[in-house]
Chains A and B, each alone.
Chain A
């Protein structure tokens, strides 16, 4: 009671002090801006370096047109294949605890961490490794009539190997975010696990499936090392846009190389925009 009746001392009265959030935004914004500016400068330098006429000249070259066509087709094939594999694999990794799951989980990431040239070399060795006199590439070429190495299928396979790993990650996160209880209840209503997957899980995963396809497509677009080793860089045959940049550079055609680079930037931006729109909804 005494405490309450004592007069409040001047020293204990709250001191008013106005503070500012400006330093916070300056520091955070400043650090963030460094990276953003770097990217903008990179793109701006490419644009400034080339001229519209260089760009058009480069795009008129039949070799580059062929590379553009092969890039679109091979990236699309790799992305669709990746989705086909990533959807079941991502679902299994998300829903089930099975023996060796950690091993599968680790193996899926190997194409992501492997140096690209090593991946290409590994593909080359796999297809040409003699096993008791039998060789995969020779069998595909002679018996199936479908040669792979240094042909367009090698391009798709090299792109798929890396793109699929990213697609699996995306699909796994997608299914992690979908409540498995609805699938459980569907099973009590008469679904098998397969029907619950097809009728309940998949319709909820469409956004993730589009994201996985887009990510796979974008990764395939940037693929270079494994393609160079496993598919070669034969003009008009196994040349994709990333190899075009390398080939044009190697013959001193810097203008053409930059023009093709800009074309790839434009393609990547389109893909990123699609991803952003689908990932956050049309209104965001």
Chain B
């Protein structure tokens, strides 16, 4: 469950204040709104990359407002993906598990399981610089899901993809939603995406967050 309790954030030229939001456990929420209104800022605050000036952020009922990003157990797929240029696809999927010192057998099993679900098994040994947009997107999604996070945050994950790849990714995200049941907050401009995926819709306009 994701809960924002009167959260205020100042970021450069704009600020958001008194943001309240609740995404129940296992729900898939979509956050919409025009560009530059602070949707990414909200995601960054939830995963801990941006400090909030007041209010509380709760993940599964635990107040994580002052926690380090790495302690929050949140899978984050940023808009720019930010893949790791020196690692292979398999190393991306193993990264979070190695940090958690999981045994190698468990890591290997998780890599093959994720690669299978995401359809990237043939890419496992490749470096990420030669991947296509859709492939990179799958790797970023796999990296975020690898450690079975409590919450998944997706920042316009499909905006840079062509039509057919986007439809494939819709299917994939639906499959992830059904198989993992991870609580998800997905930022998008696309009504179509919201219709296909959302259990719940929020809209951010003029600094006010509303349930749509």
Closest to A193 in B: B68
Q: Is the CB of A188 within 8 A of B47?
A: yes
CB distance from A192 to the nearest CB of B (A): 6
For B82, the chain A residues whose CB sits under 8 A away are 179, 181-182, 184-185
Whether A203 contacts B86 by the Cβ 8 Å rule is yes
A186 contacts across to B, CB distance below 8 A: 84, 95
Secondary structure type dominating chain A contacts: helix
CB–CB A192/B70 < 8 A: yes
Are A185 and B85 within 8 A (Cβ)? no
> Which listed residue (B74, B80, B83, B86) contacts A188, Cβ 8 A?
B74
- Contact A188:B85 (CB < 8 A) given known A181-B78, A181-B80, A195-B99: no
Smallest CB–CB gap between B145 and chain A, Å? Answer: 11
Interface residues of B in 167-183 (CB under 8 A from A): none
Establish whether residues B80 and A204, one from each chain, have CB atoms under 8 Å apart when the complex forms: no
Q: Which residues in chain A, 163-185, are within 8 Å of chain B measured between CB atoms?
A: 179, 181-182, 184-185
Please, which residue of chain B has its CB at the minimum distance from the CB of A206? B86
Chain B's interface size range is: 20 to 34
- Interface residues in A, total, Cβ within 8 A: 17
- Which of these, A179, A187, A204, contacts B70 with CB under 8 Å? A187
* Interchain nearest-CB distance for B41 vs A (Å): 13
- Residues facing B in A50-80 (CB within 8 A) are none
CB pair B76 A190 closer than 8 Å: no
Name the A residues within 8 Å of B95 (CB-CB). Answer: 186, 189, 199
Given A181-B78, A195-B99, CB of A188 within 8 Å of CB of B69 = yes
Report the separation of the CA atoms of residues A54 and B179 in the bound assembly, to the nearest whole angstrom. Answer: 81
User: For the complex, is A191 an interface residue (Cβ under 8 Å from B)?
Assistant: yes
- Listed from nearest, the 7 A-B pairs whose CB atoms lie closest are A181-B82, A190-B99, A189-B96, A203-B86, A188-B76, A187-B69, A190-B70
Which chain B residues have a beta carbon within 8 Å of chain A's beta carbons?
47-49, 68-72, 74-76, 78, 80, 82-86, 95-96, 99-100, 143-144, 147
**Pairs across A and B, CB under 8 Å, 6 listed:** A181-B78, A181-B80, A182-B83, A189-B147, A191-B99, A192-B68
